Amino acid sequence: MKKTTQSEAFNLNSGNNAFTYSGAGISDIVQQRRSRLAESKKTENTPMKPVGDLDIKDIRGWTLKEPVSKNTYTVIKIQTGSGLVGYGECSQLSPAEFAEAKRIIIGTPVTSFEVVAPKLSHVTTARAAINIAMLDVTGKIAKAPIFQVLGGPTRFKARALAPLTGNTDQELINSMNRLKALGYLAFMVPIPTVVWRNQGQEYVLATRNRLDALRAAGGENTDFALDGSNKLTPGDAQMICEAIENFHVLFFNEPCLPVSIGAIKKLSAENVTPIGLGKGITGENQILDLIRDDAVDIIRPSIGLNGISQIKRMAVIAETYYIAVGPDHNGGPIGTAACLHLAASIPNFFVQKIPCPEAEEDRLMRLALVAEPVETIKEGYAPLLTGPGLGITVNEKIFEKYMEASL
Amino acid sequence: MKRRNFLYGIGSASALLASNKLTGQNIFPEESDDCGCYPNTSFISEQTKPRVLPTPWQRGDYDYVLSKVRITDLKTIPVSVTPTSDRPYVFVKLETNVGVVGWGEATLEGKAGSAMQAVHDLKDSIIGSDPIQVTHHWQSMWVHAFFRGGPILGSAISGIDHALWDLRGKLLGLPVYKLLGGPTDPEGVRGYYHARANSREQLIELRESAEKLGVTAFKTGLPAQTYEWIDTHAKIDRAIKQLQMIRESLGPKIDIACDFHAKTSPAVASIIIKEIEPLNLLFVEEICPPENAKAMAKITKRSTTPIATGERLIAHFGFRELIEQGIVDIIQPDCAHTGGITGVWAAGALAAASGISVAPHNCTGPIGGLAAIHTDAAMPNFIVQEVCSGVNSTENERVWEEWLGFQAQRMVNGKYPLSDKPGLGFDVNEEALKKYPFAGTVPMARVFADDGSVCGW
């Protein structure tokens, strides 16, 4: 209705040299825009100019497996035209995803780590590793650690969180004592084994008792996060939240599946126990609803699914709501190095989870992968890595020994 | 003249302050829950013994993760291109122990004196520190300010932030847009000029120039200098007809934006943006003053025309509500006010997560504009940069050429070209700056309605 009046008004004013407008003219604009968009898409697919010195020339990948824990993760290596190399790590990558990511990034300037991200939005796991590797090379070009490239250091050490392993309280105490000897002071505690839905008072008390037993054994300078691993129903989760409210955990991680924000919102409204969420998240927009609905106190995106830059973007969102960042990490030592650079690049970092496998063989593998001591903890904190890029020297020779697949 | 000398003198006065024994240290009152207002713990009282703790730098904790470069001095250099300018450029210069210098711009329209003083008030966070850790310093200037936000603090932080990024780029050997992970488009950053054409003939001429120069977008304003709370049909019709004429004369290929400059009330703005819906403008800007998000939302809901705002909003914190409530389609942080490169990047990242675009505002001097261009080149959700000039270069730009060696606001084929030089990519001829001495703070124009009441412009 409005449009008819408007086109009349246009015709009143149209002079010789002017465009004449009608309803059809307006849809021309839409068509113009569309064709412009199509043109810009076309240029993306036109053959690239020859690979320059600082463009990505090659990418390789290896999926590695820890011998005892069977934990797997993919290490990638990119190489520029001039021969500079950078390493990255992500969660296990499929050959198809690797091939698709490779097709997109060959010929890309190695420093364009931020603008390459939207082009990889359909292969987010590969995007994580590529981001880390591109930053590694950018740091080597700048002869500076990644945190300096990204505007840090915002801190000079990063608080570390070690996941405890074991089924019984005593096994967990033993695990804690071993990790305490390594320098850790904050621990992620698994909830007691979940046997059924809505387990009631016995289970709630067992959870509280587990935390009390650990604190009694660990002393006053230890801190704990309770890890629900999405295994509880909202009903159990909210009762546990209540039961541990005055224990003052650092946070209750993944108390129940965040498939319904409603359940988490209720939990968060009922209790003051800080809530940690986000290990499965692969895009910064996915944390928006959690944050805006007051459902989370510490966002925990995984380094292996997001890389450094994506989590840095999430940290900006969290910062405007005064919310902390404590990235999840289930991969290897290259991922840990990336986490430490991220921690020193953002203002609202709180704690970094570092995998600490129980078996000696797994630990030796982690030590052998990287020449520098990446996972060395002192009084609860990890020192930063100061070499250029990631600040690590990757030992490719041992890849073969632990390799699950070559990409 | 005396005033100018006084303000030039601030640079050297800072050296005096730097010798104060408390400078750059953590000063805590005896009781940690003390707000600092009691005489016995006053920071300045002679009788008191405040507990003075060293900063993490003084303890040496940061030594192993910093570069060896330290900032040795912070200077403000104000210049007035014309004595009546309401925005004398407040350039910020950071000097280092390795001889490398960084440049920034803390220009604030109508508040040159306040902006300069605010830069010097932040000296303790900067002098003696490493320019590499810009995020840390940004946080220190923002959080330690206690009174966060506002355009004066925002502009001061911006000027220092540009200079830190300039230094970082020079020290790390990369242009700033590469440190930020760009460029999106190696050919440069898409920009728009101001239309500066009022008649149909001038507009047609403008279209022809644009076609020749490859310019793809222009911005215009509303035809009246002021609008009242409610306005007459003559003024409203004139605004609508003018925009229709601009669209007709420039044709469908050129994007057109219109700046309402917050001189309209929600009542007046709503009518205009409803009527111009069929023109499919790129955006309308500042449809009402930005401090009331709900009022802006009322207008936004009434039109499909994309809404842009943000030149007066400070840091990413300032944009949160408008983005969260879905009130804006495009944010327009100003690199010289919102918190510099760090501030624009953060606001852009916040917008990106909600699918909102960034079209940075820029109406100060050349350095703020160049800092914006570097940031634009690295933001995936960037659409267009305001280039505060017309298709023909202005007297201002000829002056800028004397200072920087090139006309800092000229596009090539509709895009602002990117420099390969490290940092922000320019050197400043300080001798040339001296030819345009600071002529004092000049307030922004004061405009009034026909009945003498106060209006914005």
**A383 touching B (Cβ < 8 Å):** yes
Of the candidates B261, B316, B337, B374, the residue annotated as catalytic is: B261
Of B135, B172, B204, the CB nearest to A142: B172
Looking at beta carbons, which residues of chain A come within 8 Å of B355? Answer: 285
The predicted pLDDT at position B408 comes to 86
**A319 touching B (Cβ < 8 Å):** yes
- Tokens in use for A31? 């068509």
**B174 touching A (Cβ < 8 Å):** yes
The predicted pLDDT at position A13 comes to 37
Q: State yes or no: pLDDT of B417 exceeds 50.
A: yes
Q: Please report the residues numbered 251 through 290 in chain B whose beta carbons come closer than 8 angstroms to any beta carbon of chain A.
A: 251-253, 274-275, 277-278, 280
Query: Which of B142, B143, B171, B178 is the best residue to mutate to test the A interface, defined by the most A CB atoms within 10 Å of its own CB?
Result: B178
Q: Under DSSP, is residue A396 helix (H, G, I), strand (E, B) or coil?
A: helix
**A111 touching B (Cβ < 8 Å):** yes
Which chain B residue shows the shortest CA-CA distance from A7? B278
Of the candidates B316, B337, B361, B374, the residue annotated as catalytic is: B361
More confident call, B394 vs A65? A65
Binned at pLDDT 50, 70 and 90, residue A17 comes out as very low
C-beta separation of A98 from A127 below 8 A: no
Angstrom distance (rounded) from CA A65 to CA A401: 9
Place of tokens 């690199």: B335
Binned at pLDDT 50, 70 and 90, residue B51 comes out as low
Binned at pLDDT 50, 70 and 90, residue A261 comes out as confident
Q: Could B251 and A19 be called an inter-chain contact, meaning their C-beta atoms sit closer than 8 Å? A: yes
- Cα(first)–Cα(last) distance of chain A, in Å? 59
Cβ-based neighbour number of residue A235 at 10 Å: 14
Q: State yes or no: pLDDT of A15 exceeds 90.
A: no
Taking only the tens place, the pLDDT of each residue in B245-296 is 999 999 999 999 999 999 999 999 999 999 999 999 999 999 999 889 999 9
Q: Could A10 and B244 be called an inter-chain contact, meaning their C-beta atoms sit closer than 8 Å? A: yes
Taking only the tens place, the pLDDT of each residue in B325-344 is 999 999 999 999 999 999 99
More confident call, B58 vs B340? B340
**A34 touching B (Cβ < 8 Å):** no
**A13 touching B (Cβ < 8 Å):** yes
Range of lowest pLDDT (A182-196, A251-265, B40-54, B417-431) = B40-54
Percent of chain B with pLDDT over 70: 89
Q: Could B380 and A288 be called an inter-chain contact, meaning their C-beta atoms sit closer than 8 Å? A: no
Of B62, B136, B353, the CB nearest to A284: B353
- Tokens in use for A100? 């698709």
- Tokens in use for A4? 């008819």
Looking at beta carbons, which residues of chain A come within 8 Å of B349? Answer: 284, 312-313, 316-317
Percent of chain A with pLDDT over 90: 82
Looking at beta carbons, which residues of chain A come within 8 Å of B306? Answer: none
Of B182, B247, B252, the CB nearest to A115: B182
In this structure, the strands spanning B71-79 and B89-96 are antiparallel
H-type alpha helices, A244-329:
261-270, 288-292, 303-320
Give chain B's mean pLDDT: 90
The predicted pLDDT at position A44 comes to 52
More confident call, A87 vs B18? A87
Percent of chain A with pLDDT over 70: 88
Which chain A residue shows the shortest CA-CA distance from B277? A3
Contacts of A145 (CB under 8 A, 6+ apart): A139, A341, A384, A385, A386, A387, A388, A389, A390, A391, B65
- Tokens in use for B201? 């003939």
**A19 touching B (Cβ < 8 Å):** yes
The predicted pLDDT at position A284 comes to 83
Q: What is the mean pLDDT of residues B100-119?
A: 97
Looking at beta carbons, which residues of chain A come within 8 Å of B173? Answer: 141-143
In this structure, the strands spanning A298-299 and A275-277 are parallel
Query: Which of A114, A132, A147 is the best residue to mutate to test the B interface, defined by the most B CB atoms within 10 Å of its own CB?
Result: A114
The predicted pLDDT at position A4 comes to 37
The predicted pLDDT at position B6 comes to 37
Q: What is the mean pLDDT of residues B337-356?
A: 97
Angstrom distance (rounded) from CA B119 to CA B122: 5
Question: From the centroid of its chain, how far is CA B97?
Answer: 28
**B135 touching A (Cβ < 8 Å):** yes
Give chain A's mean pLDDT: 90
Angstrom distance (rounded) from CA A99 to CA B175: 31
Q: Could B278 and A30 be called an inter-chain contact, meaning their C-beta atoms sit closer than 8 Å? A: no
**A3 touching B (Cβ < 8 Å):** yes
A73: amino acid identity, one letter: Y
Angstrom distance (rounded) from CA B152 to CA B79: 18
Query: Which of B180, B323, B325 is the best residue to mutate to test the A interface, defined by the most A CB atoms within 10 Å of its own CB?
Result: B180
Looking at beta carbons, which residues of chain A come within 8 Å of B182? Answer: 112, 114-115
Reference A362, options A333, A334, A394, A328; nearest CA is: A333
Taking only the tens place, the pLDDT of each residue in A345-392 is 999 999 999 999 999 999 999 999 999 999 999 999 999 999 999 999
Contacts of A303 (CB under 8 A, 6+ apart): A89, A128, A132, A311, A327, A328, A329, A331, A335, A338, A339, A342
Reference A304, options A137, A91, A155, A153; nearest CA is: A91
**B60 touching A (Cβ < 8 Å):** no
Looking at beta carbons, which residues of chain B come within 8 Å of A14? Answer: 248
Q: What is the mean pLDDT of residues B21-32?
A: 49
Taking only the tens place, the pLDDT of each residue in A301-354 is 999 999 999 999 999 999 999 999 999 999 999 999 999 999 999 999 999 999
**Catalytic residue list contains B261:** yes
The predicted pLDDT at position A24 comes to 40
Taking only the tens place, the pLDDT of each residue in B132-171 is 999 999 999 999 999 999 999 999 999 999 999 999 999 9
**B162 touching A (Cβ < 8 Å):** no
The predicted pLDDT at position A28 comes to 59
Q: Could A148 and B67 be called an inter-chain contact, meaning their C-beta atoms sit closer than 8 Å? A: yes
Give the minimum alpha-carbon distance from A128 to chain B in angstroms, rounded to a whole number: 15
The predicted pLDDT at position A33 comes to 59
Give the minimum alpha-carbon distance from B184 to chain A in angstroms, rounded to a whole number: 5
Q: Is this prediction's ipTM beyond 0.95?
A: no
Looking at beta carbons, which residues of chain A come within 8 Å of B160? Answer: none
Which chain A residue shows the shortest CA-CA distance from B61? A156
Q: Could B133 and A154 be called an inter-chain contact, meaning their C-beta atoms sit closer than 8 Å? A: yes
Range of lowest pLDDT (A49-58, A140-149, B81-90, B284-293) = A49-58
Which chain A residue shows the shortest CA-CA distance from B134? A151
The predicted pLDDT at position A339 comes to 98
Contacts of A159 (CB under 8 A, 6+ apart): A186, A350, A351, A352, A380, A381, A382
Looking at beta carbons, which residues of chain B come within 8 Å of A284? Answer: 349, 352-353
Of A6, A18, A316, the CB nearest to B349: A316
Looking at beta carbons, which residues of chain A come within 8 Å of B204? Answer: 17-18
Looking at beta carbons, which residues of chain B come within 8 Å of A138? Answer: 174, 178-179
The predicted pLDDT at position B21 comes to 38
Q: State yes or no: pLDDT of A16 exceeds 50.
A: no
Give the minimum alpha-carbon distance from B136 to chain A in angstroms, rounded to a whole number: 5
Q: Give me Rg for the CA atoms of chain B.
A: 23
**Catalytic residue list contains B337:** no
Which chain A residue shows the shortest CA-CA distance from B203? A18
